[in-house]
Structure 1
Amino acid sequence: MGKPYTGDQVPKESDCSFKPQDLGEFFRFLATNRDTKTFHYAGYTHFATLNSTTQQFHTFDWSWAGLKDVGSSKSTLWAGSTGSFTPCHQDSYGCNLHAQIIGCKEWLLWPPDYDLGATRLPYEESSTFSSVDVLDKNYAKSALRIVVSPGEVIFIPKHWWHLARNLETSVSINTWIELSTDSVDRIQEAITRLLVCSLKGYESSQDWVNPGEEISKPHENEMFLRQAINQSNQASGSPNMSRKDGESEQCYFIVDKAAATSDSFIQRIPLPKHPSSYKKSSQEQPDKSVVDTLINLIVCDRDIMNKLSDKLLNSSLR
């Protein structure tokens, strides 16, 4: 639960309050809720955590989108009131199919190389957040804005920045599609976890951790890194193979599940090039701690992380 955007800064999840609630009760609340000063959101709810009384969710699958064996067990539920949102971020792994079931949802998207002040604090595994007010007109006007209606699916290419905001009471379902390039990203996520927990773990408070994220112990972080390296070696056979796929196509997709033929199944629209309006050198926050700045300088720099992961892979093959 949180306050909708008022024009100064997009709220973070850490600015919100949380409480457990029965899903049926939450849906009944959404149907009668008239509170416009507070949004209510049940986001990122894995189907595996829903019990057998919600059979209509457990029958959902993605076969109509050409994805075999991707059913409800690999899907996630999102339901919220007007104004509820997912903060602007990049996903580390795969690409994202998001199906709108009830209501309309607004999406703002920027290409992976668009500079939105990437930060890993507050820390959440596999999510890089934007540190700027992306709803400010200087950023929003450069975004690709898409409003997705019931019966449509939006495809988010890998590493694309995206913010999603419910324009009305909304229910949607998503799944992530794994890509071969994910093996390198998993190494870099393990490096990030090891670094963040090592440098920030001494603090008594955990306001640097996003709600719901569990902090693992040092020996567990080292184990995650070893596992990621081993999995990458098994998947690729050589250190650099897993990055040869290239990035996701420079376009977005809206899928109409009612389309009769495969040719009309996907509307493909090229995206324009966007010049960055964010300058790292001029936007550094003077009140950020040395540790926080160090973390962001390392883990948000793709060249540094690529070199680190390549060095680890090369060392593991000797």
Structure 2
Amino acid sequence: MATPDSVLEWLVESDPALRWQVERDLLHAPQHVWEDTRSRIASEGFGARLLALQGPDGQWAGGSYFPRDFDFQGPEAAEGAGQPWTATTWTLNTLRDWGLDPAALNGTAELLAVNSRWDYEGLPYWGGEVDCCINAYTLAIGAWLGADVAGIAQWFLKHRMDDGGWNCEWVNGSTRSSFHSTLNALRGLLYYETARGSNDELREARKAGEEYLLQRHLLRRLTTGEIVGWWAASFAYPFRWRYDVLRALDHFRSAALEDGLPPDGRLGEAVAVVRAARRQDGRWLQGKVLPGRVWFDVDVPEGEPSRWLTFYASRVLEWWDSEAHSEGGPRRTSLAFPRRHTVEGLFHNRARRG
């Protein structure tokens, strides 16, 4: 699927945090072009604004995962209120995703080692805590900033479920993996592997977690074949912690490139969901963003064309389509599901829910 020129021109007119990725992955510009744009993240736009908000203790909003002033008994903690996205982990994860040069955060790893503690039992920042999603973010951030997070990497080996994935609710007795937790764990493990190198155990764990999602075609319950939840086809940027097939496909694209493998055929149904959400003008619309306190908005309101989503979706489809027409194509691996919910029905239900 070729991205229309009008869409490419629209995408290029964006913040350096997005523009450099468009230049590299959709325009296939020379390296010096996109590297020049990437270098401006620290001094222009969204990246510069977030960097300016860092405190002298190395943290953002004075806390590791929640801001220092967060009232766990107050209205902001009420059901449906969302959560703040301004504290250290969320901010660093965003800057890492945007491609900021870690040199712009020189000394931050050391400051966090001294000053930052998790809300859970005051554990030290680089040691991680008990939530696998939080540990996944910290693993990737640590690999990016040069912190010693080898212990967190090993934590994932010890806390993998028997079905191959992970679940943040393991502390409450859950024994089955979660789509949300597994994808966040996979993204953290892949980033660590790419940045620091891997070993057979970590690679095997990542592959097992990927197989957990592939067996379910990124969409369906293994037991019944039903769509796992409305959120699977609900795309919104920033992505945060929630699972959707676009985020999942973005991971599988990165993993395939890292492993030097063609895409697995079981991704095809998820690809169809992403393709079906594309408007005739080649853009994707913003969905319902998870609520909560933010430093500032980085994308459009719900229902408007989103540059971020359009970039991610276009990149995934170009990868899939180019591999489908290459020698060999996607690996033709399939698993039959009862067709209780079709892709078309999924979008009908999503539209009806509003």
Q: Shared topology, TM-score over 0.5?
A: no
Q: Which has the higher contact order (CA 8 A, sep 6+)?
A: 1
Query: Could you tell me the TM-score, scaled by structure 1's length?
Result: 0.33
